[in-house]
Amino acid sequence: MSVRKLTTIAFIAALYASLTYVFAPLSYNYIQFRISEMLTVLPYITPLAVPGLFIGAIISNIGSPLGIYDVIFGGLASLIAAWLTSKMPNRWLAPLPPVIVNAVIVGTVLGAIANLPGLTVPLAMLWVGVGELAVCYLLGIPFLYLMERYQHVIPGLNKRK
């Protein structure tokens, strides 16, 4: 793997983790509005975003109140969602895998482990899904348009074929 590709992966991971930590009050509750999730549309443009988002999620989940469960299952959810996003046929469907995968996996973990009063697994899945839907579509789609428009000047972003 070239230095340029490794640098792109590392940059995506660092950006994801940084955005998660900067907006920590929004990132770690059962009603999550994780700003960094807008980056989950990047695998639609480049496969380098798949490992970048996976690594970034693992790093950012180290600070989660759910500890190792969030590191393992949150990282796994990001990996699955990123891979599925890379397979999406159009930009409007690109944000859908992170919404669905995170709602199911992260929602299940939150509902089963968080031990918050009144928080059931289905309710946790709903709240995570609503937050993901908002971030991935309201921030992710404009971000995707911006990246598609300027991908020729950003090293490491490959044009989608």
Instruction: For residue 145, tell me if it sits in a domain.
Output: yes
Instruction: For residue 157, tell me if it sits in a domain.
Output: no
State both tokens at 72.
Answer: 């393992």
Q: If 0-12 CB within 10 Å is exposed, 13-18 middle and 19+ buried, where does residue 11 land?
A: middle
What pLDDT is recorded for position 157?
64
Instruction: For residue 130, tell me if it sits in a domain.
Output: yes
pTM equals 0.90
pLDDT of 109 over the 50 cut: yes
What pLDDT is recorded for position 129?
94
**Which has the higher per-residue pLDDT, 161 or 77?**
77
Determine the structural domain holding residue 16 and report its residue range.
Answer: 3-150
Longest dimension (CA), the chain: 50
| pLDDT average, residue stretch 74-95 | 96
Q: By 3-state DSSP, what share of the chain in percent is helix, strand and coil, each rounded to 5?
A: 70, 0, 30
Q: Which residues of 116-154 are buried (b: 16+ CB within 10 A; e: fewer)?
A: eeebeeeebbbbbbebbbebbbebbbebbeebbeebeee
Specify the residue for token string 């890379």.
86
| pLDDT average, residue stretch 1-16 | 92
Q: Compute φ and ψ for 25, nearest 5 degrees.
A: -60, -25
What pLDDT is recorded for position 32?
77
Q: Are residues 128 and 103 in contact, defined by beta-carbon separation less than 8 angstroms?
A: yes
Q: Are residues 38 and 122 in contact, defined by beta-carbon separation less than 8 angstroms?
A: no
Would you tell me how many other CB atoms lie within 10 Å of the CB of residue 87?
Answer: 11
20-61 per-position pLDDT tens digit: 999 887 777 767 788 999 999 999 999 999 999 999 999 999
Q: How far apart are CA 149 and CA 97, in angstroms?
A: 23
Per-residue pLDDT band for 161 (boundaries 50, 70, 90) equals very low
Task: Please state the domain count of the chain.
Answer: 1
Instruction: For residue 158, tell me if it sits in a domain.
Output: no
DSSP 157: P
Tell me the CATH number at 78: 1.10.1760
